[in-house]
Amino acid sequence: MSYIPEIAARAQGLELSHEEIKRYSRHLIMPEVTLEGQKCLKAARVLVVGTGGLGSPLLAYLTAVRHKPEAAVSYYGVGIDQKLSLAKNMACPMMLHFGELDKYAPPEAIAQIREAHKDDPNVTIYEYPGCDHAFARKGGHNFQPYHADQADMKTLSFLVAKLIGHR
């Protein structure tokens, strides 16, 4: 497996705590991640993930178009459709997750976002059928375990690929 040398160098000597091993146990068994990859993720620098609440999905998007993090992820994407004039400035790889039935980011907004980024290979958009807002929030009213796991695993694979590199 190959990793970005500077991140791999920072990861040397890093250990995962018992709590981290427990928390990331599903990731550690994935051949795309492994213990070495998880240590590199721990050593990695800038990434932005907005998972809802107080504008964080929009914050992830605005950071991606105004700055240059290594990667950005937005769950639910509320408000992004109001900032599409900035789409041409996308400065990093970005992944967006939307619930098909989300009233806060309705199908019309998702269509506008898709259209604005249709020619941008850096932007990946996923829509989850039958899911409402906050479908990936464990314990929440709209929690959908299967789709939450799908979104989380796609996010993890994306971040590993963007921050560490393909193996």
Which of the residues are catalytic? 102, 133
From the list 42, 48, 45, the residue with the least C-alpha distance to 21 is 42
What's the Cα-to-Cα distance from 19 to each of 22, 23, 74, 136, 152, rounded to whole Å? 5, 6, 26, 22, 19
Question: Are the beta carbons of 48 and 64 closer than 8 angstroms?
Answer: yes
What is the Cα 2 distance to its own chain's centre? Answer: 21
What's the Cα-to-Cα distance from 124 to each of 25, 31, 90, 142, rounded to whole Å? 26, 22, 12, 23
